[in-house]
Amino acid sequence: MIRLDRLLVNMKFGSRKEVQDLIKNGEVYVNGKIETKKDRKLNPTNDKVVVLGEELYYKDEIILAVNKPIGYLSANIDPMHPVIIDLLKEPYHRHDFKIAGRLDLDSQGLLILTTSGHTVHEITNPNKKIVKTYEVTTDEIIDIKMLNRLLEPIKILDGNNDSYITKALEVKLLSDKMALISLDEGKFHQVKRMFRAIGYEVINLKRIKIGKYLMPNIKPGEYLEIKKDDIL
Ligand code: URA
């Protein structure tokens, strides 16, 4: 149960004072009736709340699968670049999403957003060993023997520029300059650094799968709501 004014602040309808004014002015309906008590207790998953004609979309947890476009930052706010949160439209613009595993500015593909910090932990904690699969395009024709070296321990630098031994779980050549790689880790620039270690520059990187969830056929910038069971 949550107080009506607290719910409306959480859902970004304004400051405490602003939402209390909305309630006092009869702009808020609960289950079809005007509610003027700011301390009215309600259960937002069951009670229908309408504010200024907008019905609140509330769930204990909301998970979105986003097809991140190149040039968007995996962040909530940034002074320089468009951020992934900018893509979210009604009714998702009122929720605070966290990103379960970032992609570089120049990478694209599957990004999972969730309102639950616990789910972020379940997806990103290295001990959980969640497998991520990437489609890689390289600058030069890939030699299958070199690609297979990624299945053996190989040294790269991690985010602190310390050396780090890693290996891929699976690799697959798709065409001359394209390959798939699956990892159960997520070090900074890991895929680019692994390919650099075998002599290739990654010129396009697209994440296509996280856990069980294969990115559906949606355009860059589009997203859809999914369930935790779809991923874990
Ligand atoms: N590895 C990278 O190098 N970049 C990404 O965005 C994701 C994995």
CATH of the domain at 72: 3.30.70.580
Q: 42 with 144, same domain?
A: no
pLDDT at 204 over 90: yes
Residue 206 Cα to ligand 1 midpoint, Å, equals 8
Q: Which residue has the tokens 């949160």?
A: 85
CATH of the domain at 18: 3.10.290.10
Q: 92 with 136, same domain?
A: no
**Predicted pLDDT at 30:** 98
Q: What's the pLDDT tens digit per position in 35-69?
A: 999 999 999 999 999 999 999 999 999 999 999 99
- Enter the tokens of residue 201: 């520059």
Domain count, the chain: 3
To test the pocket of ligand 1, the residue of 189, 195, 198, 209 to mutate (highest count of ligand atoms within 8 Å of its CB) is: 189
Domain residue limits at 167:
131-210
Q: 140 with 186, same domain?
A: yes
Q: 114 with 221, same domain?
A: yes
Query: Are 119 and 218 contacting, i.e. CB atoms less than 8 angstroms apart?
Result: no
Cα 230 to chain centroid distance, Å, stands at 14
**What does residue 225 show for φ and ψ, rounded to 5 degrees?**
-85, 135
Which of 55, 71, 93 is the C-terminal boundary of a domain? 55
pLDDT band at residue 158 under the 50/70/90 scheme: confident
Q: 187 with 143, same domain?
A: yes
Measured by CA distance, the residue closest to atom 4 of ligand 1 is: 189
pLDDT band at residue 160 under the 50/70/90 scheme: confident
**Predicted pLDDT at 86:** 95
Q: What percent of the chain has pLDDT over 90?
A: 97
Q: 71 with 106, same domain?
A: yes
**Predicted pLDDT at 62:** 97
CATH of the domain at 135: 3.30.70.1560
Residue 60 Cα to ligand 1 midpoint, Å, equals 30
Q: What's the pLDDT tens digit per position in 72-115?
A: 999 999 999 999 999 999 999 999 999 999 999 999 999 999 99
Count each helix (H run) and each strand (E run) in the chain, helices first: 6, 17
Q: What percent of the chain has pLDDT over 70?
A: 100
pLDDT band at residue 217 under the 50/70/90 scheme: very high
Q: 138 with 157, same domain?
A: yes
Q: 38 with 99, same domain?
A: no
Say whether 104 is catalytic: yes
pLDDT at 161 over 90: no
Q: 87 with 139, same domain?
A: no
Average pLDDT, the chain: 96
Residue 90 Cα to ligand 1 midpoint, Å, equals 29
Q: 71 with 97, same domain?
A: yes
Q: 135 with 71, same domain?
A: no
